[in-house]
Amino acid sequence: MNLNNYEISWLPSNRSKAQEIYKPGQKMLALQSGPQVLQDECVNFTSGDMTTANLLSVLRIRHLTTDTFFVPEVTVVGGLNTSEQDQPEEDQLRTIILSVFPDIEQPIMDKYMTSFNSFKPDQKSCLRTMLLQIQETLLKTQNENIKTLVKSVITEPVCYTGQKNTLMQVLESAQMTCETKSIFELKLNAMIISVVNKLSGDILNDINERIFFNAPDPQSAHQIEPVRKWLDENIGLYGGSYPEDIYNHTTPFVNQMIEASFKRVIGNTRLSLDYWVRAITDEINENPEQCTMLCDYLNQIADDNALSQHYSPSFINELRDELDERAFIADPPRYTPNDFELILEKEGTFPPIFYPSERLIRELLSAKLNRKNRAPLVVTESGNEQTVGAESFCLRNGVRGSVIKLAHGTRDTVIETIKNLPETWSQQELSLFFHIISQKYANITNGIQFSDEEIAKLNQRLNEQNENGETIVFMAAINGHADAIR
């Protein structure tokens, strides 16, 4: 039997059955690879003791194709690309706050606006966007807990990071639907969203490092939008509803960069169940205290037919056994820590802190994530909304794709570009171009042979001033492009 394309999980229906089929001291684990199960974790067959039929009766086997991947069902509740761009930022923020707190006192509003206006432009844009998302969430839920958190930000304004972290708590819990009222499910959803945010952030950081050589971006708040749009179009992360950022469209060239970065960050071409299990396990191992009310959530799964039907009967039976055993108090204790395969306990804590094992995390995620079976990577042709004849932006607002393509060209191509800098490039683009080539090709300008005409043309271009009287060298200096200046 070829098990290369199957996901196999041990699912004994009770503890005595587990003792019959497992080696002494062996842990029950849900494994991704069929051959790995048979080679490393399989039952120690003795002649005639275990038939193939017996083995399959205690295994759950699910066919996985090479296109199988897993994504959460994340709700889009707003974004940079859906805000009222024509309305002044401060007026829009006042409108948002008044819609949530219509009775807010004017001195409190004025105090918050004073704090808000002290932040940098990208910080203000981020906070405004988050409050817009929360406003749209409240229109649907009228959740008082959300209102309480937001009110603490408005009435007791702290630094930008403090405000952002508080608002993130709201958004992380609002982007995935909870099937129960359990605190743990809320936390688990927040952890899944955190993995999503980290993935998009890692992709963006990889692009900024490899493509832009970490050149600063004055409008960096818009950078993440094409990444999220690509993740939605290619793996359905937001159900196909993530909107295009009007200031930073996705384009075929941008999509190629994101796809290449996605493969580097993930290490393959799909979001496997193993990827999610590792990420959530690491999160829980780092902070098991966040698993508050785990047993309450598991009891709801075990007792609710609508919830338990997402799992195998064998798993639900085993889960009920462990919940009963965890609830049984005896002196001396009837069970040891090694008796539990699903619900683990942190040592030396009172009251006890329970957290899910890796196997339990796998089972929970198998039910909570959407399994998809289609080719996950398709370079899209979006970006048609741009002005006809305008050159495509390159992940950064206002930066044309030709700047990046020529900066990453061959040495000869770069030298030719230096001698004939495009007239259409802005000083910001010129500064970025020189930053990239100075990082990619050390001392590239040292050996270039210039004619007198080329020198005069280059000097004229580099000494041009913008409407503020700034030259490209000045622009490079304020953006920290030291190598570009040299």
Sequence letter at residue 350: F
Who wins on pLDDT, 477 or 84? 477
pLDDT by residue (tens digit) across 151-172? 888 988 778 878 887 887 777 7
pLDDT of residue 468: 80
pLDDT tier, 86 (very low <50, low <70, confident <90, very high otherwise)? low
Long-range contacts of 110-119 (CB under 8 A, 24+ apart): 111/157, 112/154, 112/155, 112/157, 115/157, 116/90, 116/157, 117/90, 119/160
C-beta of residue 202 within 8 angstroms of C-beta of residue 320: no
| Rounded Cα–Cα distance for residues 188 and 484 (Å) | 46
Who wins on pLDDT, 431 or 343? 343
Q: Which residues pair with 345 in a beta bridge?
A: 354
Q: What is the mean pLDDT of residues 280-307?
A: 93
Annotate 274-332 with DSSP letters as a single string: HHHHHHHHHHHHH-GGG-TTHHHHHHHHHH-HHHHTTS-HHHHHHHHHHHHHHH---SS
Q: What is the pTM of this model?
A: 0.71
Residue 12 pLDDT greater than 50, yes or no:
no
Q: Which DSSP letter does residue 120 get?
A: -
pLDDT of residue 142: 73
Beta carbons within 10 angstroms of residue 300's beta carbon: 18
Percent of the chain with pLDDT strictly greater than 70: 78
pLDDT of residue 18: 42
| Rounded Cα–Cα distance for residues 97 and 150 (Å) | 9
- Provide φ and ψ at 110, rounded to 5°: -65, -40
- Provide φ and ψ at 310, rounded to 5°: -80, -5
Who wins on pLDDT, 77 or 275? 275
C-beta of residue 310 within 8 angstroms of C-beta of residue 374: no
pLDDT of residue 320: 96
**Residue whose tokens read 């927040």:** 190
Local structure of 183: helix, strand or coil = helix
pLDDT of residue 25: 40
pLDDT of residue 391: 63
What residues contact 255, with CB distance under 8 A and at least 6 apart? 230, 379, 380, 382
C-beta of residue 411 within 8 angstroms of C-beta of residue 446: no
Q: What is the mean pLDDT of residues 300-315?
A: 95
| Rounded Cα–Cα distance for residues 227 and 220 (Å) | 13
pLDDT of residue 26: 39
**Mean per-residue pLDDT of the chain:** 78
Annotate 348-378 with DSSP letters as a single string: T-SS--EEE-HHHHHHHHHHHSEEEES----
pLDDT tier, 64 (very low <50, low <70, confident <90, very high otherwise)? low
Query: Mapped to the 3 state alphabet, what secondary structure does 208-263 carry?
Result: HHHCCCCCCCCCHHHCHHHHHHHHHHHHCCCCCCCCCCCCCCCCHHHHHHHHHHHH
pLDDT of residue 278: 94
pLDDT of residue 388: 34
Q: What is the mean pLDDT of residues 453-482?
A: 82
Percent of the chain with pLDDT strictly greater than 90: 28
pLDDT by residue (tens digit) across 33-61? 343 333 333 443 334 444 444 444 444 44
Q: What distances in angstroms separate CA 39 from CA 6, 33, 46, one per listed residue?
A: 14, 10, 15
pLDDT by residue (tens digit) across 94-112? 888 998 899 999 999 999 9
C-beta of residue 350 within 8 angstroms of C-beta of residue 220: no
Q: What is the mean pLDDT of residues 269-293?
A: 89
Residue 369 pLDDT greater than 90, yes or no:
yes
Residue 408 pLDDT greater than 90, yes or no:
yes
Residue 71 pLDDT greater than 80, yes or no:
yes
